[in-house]
Chain A
Amino acid sequence: MPRLPLGDWADSGVQWLVTHMGWLFDAVKAVVEGMYDGVNAVLTAPEPLLLAGILAVLAWWLRGLVAGVLAFGGFVLVDSLDLWERAMSTLALVLVATLIALVLSVPLGIWAARSRTVSAALRPVLDLLQTMPSMVLLIPAILFFGLGTAAGVIATLIFALAPGVRMTELGIRQVDAELVEAAEAFGTTRRDTLLRVQLPLALPTIMAGINQVIMLSLSMVVIAGMVGTGGLGGAVNEAIGQLDIGFGFEAGVGIVVLAIYLDRITGALGAQISPLGRRASAKARAASGVTVWSHRPRPVVAVAGVAVLALVAGGLGVFGPSSGTAEASATDIGRGKEIKLGYIPWDEGIASTFLWKELLERRGFEVSTTQYAAGPLYTGLATGQIDFQTDSWLPTTHAEYWKKYGKQLDDLGSWYSPTSLELTVPAYMKDVNSLADLKGKSSAFKGKIVGIEPSAGMMGLLKDKVLGAYGLKGSYDVVDGSTPAMLAELKRAYAKKEPIVVTLWSPHWAYSDYKLKKLKDPKGAWGKGDSVHTLSRKGFASDNPEVGAWLKDFSMTEKQLTGLESQISKAGKGKEQDAVRAWLDRNPGLADKWAPVAGQGDEDQAAG
């Protein structure tokens, strides 16, 4: 069988689209981001509690008092977990994705219901969209739309489109043929038959489809978090990337609250707008009698309630926090200019990224940091979505990425060297000291080498070169996973004194926390040590000459880096920047050394 170069075709197809259809993607991106920004602005304008109240009134109107109270409770919980902005951002993303999905899927469904040809042609396309692993769609989405909301919305939308189309088609096809015939027999036009008979009767099924679209969108936002959409998805993504169970759980709860709210509301909305549903619920209410629990305000009352809440909010001036005038001071070099940092959740990456976030904020920049996997990070940097990242291991570990994206990036020099990559065992593994010693001991290690992210350069090096050099191929499997998972496994095995071999690198705080042994590499299979480089998008240094100069001059010693890493590791998730501040306070002068201001003394204490 000749090898079919399907992947190459897909690759060049994507390339062709990027070069020739760029204007289209830019237009789509502008529309999607515009919609998202609009919805998000509306959702984040009122005080959290006020919006929670408005959403609760909506639930009260649609489902009754209990639902209203529970909705309010749920949203207050989200707010108390400090996840309000993220939740609203996710809600905005879901709403935009759902809206676009509906605009596309309902007409497609109607079309498919009317034409067997269209239906037959659509089916495999929908299957493809629904079952293609979402990560596979995410990377092209980044190439087309860049990192951020647009890529997230589009990926979500593609994933969520199918049930909307399917349920619309099903709903219309399910309408009793005799009813459609009756409409035609009385001279109804095709359009009116659709609007007056088919759609009203298909509405419950279509609403079930919409409900599915929303639920799928919500499940997709977690994955979309990987391309920097932020929100609760981003939070979950950060949490699992750093094995932060508590934060992950909180973000998960936030998603659950949103999911349940949206599910119940769309369900009830379906009953409200469908004439049959309205009748059914009116009947049910008449049968059970009106109680306080099931009492629902009339639409007028509900609208008035929402309006009053909104007016109260307006009166209190809580719409749009007034922007304070930027303080002009000598250290304010950035003047609010925005800089986007991306990082891989590796410890030296987190440490240096938050160090620079703190330094740049002290110098008056607006800094955002977003966590990515290595692939999206380089893609985002190459397309200019990210300004710089501080954790590129060159020339060896990230050679693949440099080869692919190097021309679109600027290397701002290394700030730490040398590094080393190694396989590491706990010190209690007495008779394993070198890579060669692993041979023949695979049963003790259960044939497993606990690896990290498959996208990490060292994983490729290990599988392609190191194992072969020492004749370990075949007897050991390299387990793909993540850095936190590897560290968790190391911690577990270390506590039980079980044999374990992991991929690790220096510098790393694990060497100070555990008694570990780097396996010697007499054949030099790992190559020479790398340096940790700062890479920026093309032209970042000329756009921001001060920052460019600071980054080029930046360097850290091993003591400084491991010290900062362990400070952050102790502070815990979400307090990285606090740890950086504390660490800078204990090491005065470093901030001015790394981010010097011309003719400026030690004034940044006040600015911190």
Chain B
Amino acid sequence: MSSRLEADHLYKVFGRRPTEAVERLRTGADREELRADGTTAAVIDASFTVEPGQIFVVMGLSGSGKSTLLRMLNGLLEPTAGHVRFDGQDLTALSDRDLRAVRARKISMVFQHFALFPHRSVLENAAYGLAVQGVPRAEREKRAAEALELCGLGGWEESWPDELSGGMQQRVGLARALATDADLLLMDESFSALDPLIRRDMQDQLLQLQQTLKKTIVFITHDLNEAMRLGDRIAVMRDGRIVQTGSAEDILLRPENDYVASFIQDVDRTRVLTASALMDTGATADAPRCACETAAPDTTFAELCALSARLSHPVRVVDGGGRVVGAVDRRSLVGFLGDEAADPSPCDRPEEKVTAHA
């Protein structure tokens, strides 16, 4: 048993006779047919696994069923069919009481619009989960203060949610989720309501926290750039179904269908692609063996460009063991940037110099 969280053929249908609707979906009925009958299939046959310490991003447009999927993971919504296993425990089989206990201790949630309690101070908000668990006041306030400190909100304990900016409010939301020491963090479009600069800050902070905390995180977003930045693995949802699951590079380089392909058009590839995806593994033998700078497999495209500009030959990619695993030449970098995979065609007058006439 290695995965921390496993979704196993999850269905969620709203409306009349949901189990019947699930049967119809299994035999190939599509969402539109059901909608005509007044039932809404929000999530259809979703399966995935999340490993400990991973950030798993579910990406999709609004109405794709990603929020419903998230709410089945902590039992806020009961799946119409399928199972959720968390640390090997089937959440769908638990009583309400046991499910509440799991939510209180092991799974936290961060909301899109922060969902801070306006009638509680920042400290009381951060301590809320602990209060539900029945942790004594002194201890829960200590732990909540630590969580706030961790999220960069030390000194704001006595303030009230409405006195904070959006970004700070969401840090309180994050601190509230972290204070319970839950292993699993569910984040529902948590940064979508923030303006772009703050969103970047929050993403950076989350990644930074993740390096030390090593939580298992399921992150919902409709922003592909955010998904690429944060996700160790990404599931793309469309109309209730997961259409592709994979790493950022898998999605970017090997889109499984036109929908995913059209989605990734606008992605800033230079921040996502790394040397391992770009390098020519067949060229390792030819790689120059010199003392020049080298790249690692996870060096990003932008850094590779900078390296390539400083070197007179292709960049060597060296793994942790010091072995050369591939090389990246300048032409492939330019080709990726221009979305051109074909070899260059020969010039009809190769001697002529290209000169700019100002």
Contact = CB atoms under 8 A, between A and B. Distances in A.
A185 B100 contact: no
A275 interface: yes
A185 B132 contact: no
A465 interface: no
Contacts of A181: 76, 111, 115
Contacts of A186: 103-104, 108-109, 128-129, 132, 176, 180
Interface string B96-127: 00001111110111011101011110000000
Interface string A178-208: 1101111111110010000100110000000
Interface in A486-507: none
Contacts of A179: 115, 117
Interface string B136-159: 000000000000000000000000
Contact of B108 (A176, A185, A200): A185
A429 to B, nearest CB: 74
Q: Is the interface of B mostly helix, strand, loop or mixed?
A: mixed
Nearest to A184: B76
Contacts of B186: 185
A109 to B, nearest CB: 19
A279 interface: yes
A185 B74 contact: yes
A471 B311 CA distance: 124
B228 to A, nearest CB: 27
Interface residues of B, number: 27
B160 interface: yes
A549 interface: no
A187 B100 contact: yes
A510 interface: no
Given A185-B74, A185-B108, A192 B132 contact: yes
Contact of A187 (B101, B113, B160): B101
A83 interface: no
B132 A176 contact: no
A279 B132 CA distance: 24
Contact of B113 (A178, A192, A197, A201): A178
Give the interface centre of B115, B119, B186 by most chain A CB atoms within 10 Å. Answer: B119
A279 B119 CA distance: 9
Nearest to B109: A185
A276 interface: yes
Interface string B152-194: 0000000010000000000000001000100000100000000
Contacts of B208: none
A187 B115 contact: no
B119 A185 contact: no
Interface in B43-94: 74, 76
B281 interface: no
Nearest to A189: B100
A386 B87 CA distance: 77
A187 B109 contact: no
A168 B353 CA distance: 83
Nearest to A278: B119
Contacts of A178: 111-113, 115
Contacts of A200: 119
B117 A188 contact: no
A179 B112 CA distance: 11
Contacts of A184: 76, 103
B297 to A, nearest CB: 38
A436 B230 CA distance: 102
A550 to B, nearest CB: 68
A279 B160 contact: yes
B210 to A, nearest CB: 20
Nearest to B182: A186
Contacts of B180: 186
The interface centre, meaning the residue of B109, B113, B120, B132 with most chain A CB atoms within 10 A of its CB, is B132
B111 A182 contact: yes
B133 interface: yes
B215 to A, nearest CB: 16
B60 to A, nearest CB: 20
Nearest to B180: A186
A187 B105 contact: yes
Contacts of A182: 109, 111, 115, 117
Interface string A270-313: 00001110010000000000000000000000000000000000
Given A185-B108, A186-B103, A186-B180, A276 B118 contact: yes
Given A181-B76, A182-B109, A187 B117 contact: no
Given A181-B76, A201-B118, A276-B118, A187 B111 contact: no
Most chain A CB within a 10 A radius of its CB, from B105, B129, B176: B129
Contacts of B118: 201, 276
Interface string A199-234: 011000000000000000000000000000000000
Interface in B305-326: none
B202 to A, nearest CB: 18
Contacts of B115: 176, 178-179, 181-182
Contacts of A274: 119
Contacts of B120: 275
A200 B186 CA distance: 27
Given A181-B76, A181-B111, A187 B103 contact: yes
A272 to B, nearest CB: 14
A324 to B, nearest CB: 56
A193 to B, nearest CB: 10
A184 B111 CA distance: 12
A175 to B, nearest CB: 10
B105 A201 contact: no
Contacts of B107: 185
A186 B107 CA distance: 8
A198 to B, nearest CB: 11
Contacts of B113: 178
Nearest to A279: B160
B108 to A, nearest CB: 7
Interface centre among B74, B113, B118, B180 (most CB of A within 10 A): B118
Contacts of B133: 187
Contacts of A183: 128
Interface string B207-243: 0000000000000000000000000000000000000
Contacts of A185: 74, 76, 103, 107-109, 186
A186 B176 CA distance: 10
Given A178-B111, A181-B111, A187-B133, A275 B103 contact: no
B150 to A, nearest CB: 18
A176 to B, nearest CB: 7
Interface string B33-48: 0000000000000000
A187 B132 contact: yes
A84 to B, nearest CB: 40
A270 to B, nearest CB: 14
Nearest to A177: B115
Contacts of A187: 100-105, 129, 132-133
A185 B73 CA distance: 11
A182 to B, nearest CB: 4
Nearest to A200: B119
* Most B-side CB within 10 Å, residue of A182, A189, A201: A182
A182 B180 CA distance: 14
Given A178-B113, A182-B111, 10 more contacts: A178-B112, A185-B74, A186-B103, A186-B104, A186-B109, A187-B102, A187-B103, A187-B104, A187-B132, A189-B100
List the 6 shortest-distance A-B pairs measured between CB atoms, nearest first: A187-B104, A182-B115, A187-B103, A275-B119, A185-B109, A187-B100
28 contacts: A178-B112, A178-B113, A178-B115, A179-B115, A181-B111, A182-B111, A182-B115, A183-B128, A184-B103, A185-B76, A185-B107, A185-B186, A186-B109, A186-B128, A186-B176, A186-B180, A187-B101, A187-B102, A187-B103, A187-B104, A187-B105, A187-B129, A187-B132, A187-B133, A188-B100, A197-B117, A201-B119, A275-B120
Interface of B: 74, 76, 100-105, 107-109, 111-113, 115, 117-120, 128-129, 132-133, 160, 176, 180, 186
